[in-house]
Structure 1
Amino acid sequence: MEHNVAASRLQGTGAHALELDGVARHFGALVALTGITMRIAPGERRAVLGSNGAGKTTLFNAVTGDFLPTAGRIRFFGEDITALAPHERIRRGLRRTYQISQLFTNLSVLDSIYLACRGVSRRRFSLLRPSLSDPNMAQAESIMHVVHLDADRDKLVGTLSHGQQRQLEIALALAGAPRFILFDEPAAGLSPTERRDLVAILNALPKYIGYIIIEHDLDVALRVSEYVSMMHNGRLFKEGTPEEIENDPMVQEIYLGGGHG
């Protein structure tokens, strides 16, 4: 898999799910991103790591359109999306989760996933109640199984544990057949058992869905990625396989305190 990913990264534009060329983002005099260039193949699972303030979330915001880049270009499956609105990127198959949960706590698990599926469908503005044969309901049932929430289908979101809410966020990102997902610290606040479940969920996603994961828990990030990009002060400074990054002396010194085994 690593060889295939590396080979596809060197091919032309059409071979890439996501391309960033010299992406920068400034907030007045503050330079949050500088010269970010990445090539990510369809189906590739990439981890983006770095300390707080390295620019990871700003990078996500640039890709999703929450903050337009100050400079540079972004392409999604060959299409220039640099200036597109966030909802237009969603329509093209780009999804994202957030560090802070953004869920409707008074809805059930199944209703939440159903509405997410409905929201990206062509009939999203229909006022008709869903029928038993509604394809969005069938998709919601399938997604609920993927994220291990079958037993919690009728529970109100507000009664779920923190880990279950994180699983639900992944479910919402899977609505509408996404082609690429940005996961923003999905393991934050999870117990060891919940983190193992998260790793299992991410590794079991369909192979055609690529993703980037930002994660402070290196054990999680390195177990669910094929390639790693390290950021520091708004720049990329090191890239490699999980094994290369984990064993790199500079990475160990800066990010792992030299004691990661």
Structure 2
Amino acid sequence: MVGTNALSRLQSTGRYALELEAVSRHFGALVALADINLTVKAGERRAVLGSNGAGKTTLFNAITGDFPPTTGRVRLFGEDVTDLPSQERIRRGLRRTYQISLLFNGLSVIDNIYLACRGVSRGRFSLRRPGRSDTAMESAETLLLAVHLDDVKDRPVSELSYGQQRQLEIALALAGAPRLILLDEPAAGLSPTERTDLIEILQSLPEHMGFIIIEHDMDVALRVADSVTMMHNGRIFKEGTPDEIENDPEVQELYLGNAHG
């Protein structure tokens, strides 16, 4: 029989896509993360901001299992995944993009997306060529439209612009209908036009699909996020809505500078 406190906890954790409880990460004497407590609701869009060295990428690594926490607990959709490898977290609906592109440059755009869809499907070990009714190919075609790459579907990835490659990475992260996506600086190096396209893509994602975005481009981050977490020296410095963060004097002094003052 589940006690009242335990039942209450089960009911509360069911609301969250992600829960970090006193998460810290040490690299020898270096404390990269210190006592991070963070909750992200299912379907929430959260921006994590901060200067270089604030601990943002280490935070993602702790969530994905690439560098598990030294101390603390990580829960995905109410399940403790602290000791699970990264592939098990992927199976539970977590995806991630990286600052450095991880694409098959010699293959076409549609083939890259197809392989991602095939990789999370039941028939991923089959050697048969895809037919017109192949569900993975149907999913790939849908994702192609979602990230605005349908006009370059048959081009090799090596011929894409940098911005198009970042859009393709988002498509790969969307394969298999994930429930939570970690986006690591998707606007880095994009032109103003490509940033606008990125914002439209992220705003058009299904409502049930939440994401956490690390981003140096404040205009992009604040336009796509419901809530913002500011980090400094491996700790959470401030949390609030995009408007609250943008207009906070301490945030302006520490991060935003005169452009947002």
Structure 1 partner of 2:260: 260
User: Deviation string for 1:46-85 (max 9, x for gaps)?
Assistant: 0000000000000000000100100000000000011111
Aligned counterparts of 1:161 and 1:258: Cα–Cα separation in 2: 32
Question: Percent identity at matched positions?
Answer: 71
Deviation at 1:259, TM superposition (A): 3.5
Matching of residue 62 in structure 1 with residue 62 in structure 2: yes
Structure 1 partner of 2:221: 221
Deviation at 1:258, TM superposition (A): 3.7
Structure 2 partner of 1:160: 160
Partner secondary structure for residue 197 of structure 1: helix
1:249·1:258 contact (CA, 8 Å) conserved in 2? no
Aligned counterparts of 2:180 and 2:256: Cα–Cα separation in 1: 29
Partner secondary structure for residue 198 of structure 1: helix
Matching of residue 91 in structure 1 with residue 91 in structure 2: yes
Structure 2 partner of 1:3: none
The letter for the 2-side match of 1:64 is: T
The letter for the 2-side match of 1:92 is: R
User: Deviation string for 1:126-167 (max 9, x for gaps)?
Assistant: 111111100000000000000000001000000000000000
The letter for the 2-side match of 1:225 is: A
Structure 2 partner of 1:132: 132
Equivalent residue runs for 1:205-216 within 5 Å: 205-216=205-216
Deviation at 1:122, TM superposition (A): 1.3
The letter for the 2-side match of 1:226 is: D
Matching of residue 29 in structure 1 with residue 25 in structure 2: no
User: Deviation string for 1:140-196 (max 9, x for gaps)?
Assistant: 000000000000100000000000000000000000110000000000000000000
User: Deviation string for 1:210-259 (max 9, x for gaps)?
Assistant: 00000000000000000000000000010000000000000000101143
Structure 2 partner of 1:6: none
Task: Structure 1: give runs of 5+ residues left out of the alignment.
Answer: 1-10
Partner secondary structure for residue 144 of structure 1: helix
Matching of residue 39 in structure 1 with residue 39 in structure 2: yes
Aligned counterparts of 2:191 and 2:14: Cα–Cα separation in 1: 40
| RMSD, aligned CA | 0.8
The letter for the 2-side match of 1:114 is: Y
Structure 1 partner of 2:176: 176
Partner secondary structure for residue 12 of structure 1: helix
The letter for the 2-side match of 1:195 is: R
Aligned counterparts of 1:165 and 1:24: Cα–Cα separation in 2: 33
The letter for the 1-side match of 2:14 is: G
1:33·1:58 contact (CA, 8 Å) conserved in 2? yes
Aligned counterparts of 1:158 and 1:89: Cα–Cα separation in 2: 30
Aligned counterparts of 1:243 and 1:22: Cα–Cα separation in 2: 27
Equivalent residue runs for 1:2-13 within 5 Å: 12-13=12-13
Matching of residue 198 in structure 1 with residue 198 in structure 2: yes
Structure 2 partner of 1:145: 145
* Count of residue pairs the alignment pairs up: 251
1:105·1:156 contact (CA, 8 Å) conserved in 2? yes
Aligned counterparts of 2:250 and 2:260: Cα–Cα separation in 1: 12
Structure 2 partner of 1:187: 187
TM-score, with length taken from structure 2: 0.95
Deviation at 1:14, TM superposition (A): 1.1
Partner secondary structure for residue 211 of structure 1: strand
Aligned counterparts of 1:197 and 1:176: Cα–Cα separation in 2: 23
Structure 1 partner of 2:238: 238
Aligned counterparts of 1:228 and 1:220: Cα–Cα separation in 2: 12
**Over 4 Å off, 4+ runs:** none
